[in-house]
Amino acid sequence: MKSLFDVKGKKIVITGGAGVLGSTLAMSLSKLGALIAIMDLNESKAHEIAETMKGKAKGFKGDVLDKHSVENAFQEVVDYFGAPDILINGAGGNHPKATTSNTLSFFDLPVDKLRFVNELNLLGTIIPSQVVGRMFAERSEGIILNISSMNAFRPLTRIPAYSAAKAAVSNFTQWLAVHMAQIYSPKIRVNAIAPGFFLTEQNRFLLTDEQTGKLTERGKKILDHTPMNRFGAPEDLVGAVQWLISDASQFVTGIVVPVDGGFSAYSGV
């Protein structure tokens, strides 16, 4: 059983790897013996995180919305580590001006901010998948893991662009899984995880009060609908990720796995 989940020596590229979730995955997988390429627009942060992994990681600058930038970054990864075995598409996020509020109605959400959120999450998944997927197709083997969201299952209030974009990521995951298996090789697998509610820099003060640390009304509603009655910790993603990128899931492709404390299973009554 231990060998089924083994990722030792696997070369893994994580886009958005300097973020809270991406960096936790990077550090956890490096402890399991994987070699990690941390790709992020924030190059200094990527290098800073990589330096904590004692030679098992290196930071690379890459803009997931610029195909030329991604191609250059992946060539640097190949030159340094060799061809990657696994791509984790971790880049994504929302924008405050693509979020409705008491002062910003849905009708007034700026189109450029809606476009930014859609492109960051969807194109930011598709473009690296094109670049690395070509490498996988050439050698008929490889794994792509996307990061969707609970918003893809149940759209949340206030964040229309993010919810729609993550739903598109889930759909693209299924499409790409079929495409790669049928056209190139059944040994190319594509899956996704859908995190529930995790405290990150992006949403911390939407869910907790910045001054008191107490739950906001939105945070309370989330926990009231989460049977495990807590927010996720980044480390909670590691087990599902390790399963999906290891031989333990070698007959699994095209699925989106909720990691949500039961949120998606609970009707509220």
Residue 263 lies in a domain: no
Taking the C-alpha atoms of residue 201 and residue 204, their distance in angstroms, rounded to an integer, is 6
Residue 265 lies in a domain: no
Share of the chain above pLDDT 70, in %: 99
- Verify that 73 and 186 share a domain, yes or no: yes
Residue 243 lies in a domain: yes
- CATH number for position 86: 3.40.50.720
The predicted pLDDT at position 37 comes to 98
Q: Does pLDDT of 211 surpass 80?
A: yes
- Verify that 32 and 145 share a domain, yes or no: yes
Residues 6+ apart with CB under 8 A from 8: 32, 33, 34
pLDDT tens, position by position, 116-174: 999 999 999 999 999 999 999 999 999 999 999 999 999 989 999 999 999 999 999 99
Residue 67 lies in a domain: yes
- Verify that 211 and 250 share a domain, yes or no: no
Query: Do the beta carbons of residue 12 and residue 31 sit within 8 Å?
Result: no
Q: Does pLDDT of 39 surpass 90?
A: yes
- Verify that 207 and 149 share a domain, yes or no: no
Q: What is the mean pLDDT of residues 52-78?
A: 97
* Count of domains observed in the chain: 2
The predicted pLDDT at position 209 comes to 81
Tokens linked to 7: 């990722």
- Verify that 129 and 208 share a domain, yes or no: no
The predicted pLDDT at position 18 comes to 96
Q: Does pLDDT of 259 surpass 90?
A: yes
Tokens linked to 229: 């009655």
At 144, phi and psi to the nearest 5?
Answer: -120, 130
For the question of residue 162 being annotated catalytic, the response is yes
* N-to-C CA span, the chain: 39
Which H/E stretch holds residue 60? strand 57-61
The predicted pLDDT at position 199 comes to 80
Q: Point out the catalytic residue in the list 80, 162, 184, 266.
A: 162
The predicted pLDDT at position 6 comes to 97
- Tokens 């098992």 found at: 56
**DSSP readout, 1-55?**
-TGGG--TT-EEEEETTTSHHHHHHHHHHHHTT-EEEEEES-HHHHHHHHHTTTT
- Verify that 75 and 207 share a domain, yes or no: no
Instruction: Tell me what the pLDDT averaged over the chain comes to.
Output: 95
- Verify that 156 and 207 share a domain, yes or no: no
- Verify that 99 and 209 share a domain, yes or no: no
Residue 268 lies in a domain: no
Residue 267 lies in a domain: no
- Verify that 248 and 151 share a domain, yes or no: yes
- Verify that 124 and 223 share a domain, yes or no: no
The predicted pLDDT at position 54 comes to 87
The predicted pLDDT at position 149 comes to 96
| Sheet of 35-40, strands arranged across | 57-61, 35-40, 11-15, 86-89, 142-147, 188-195, 256-259
Q: For residue 218, give its domain range.
A: 202-231
- Verify that 139 and 67 share a domain, yes or no: yes
- Verify that 221 and 177 share a domain, yes or no: no
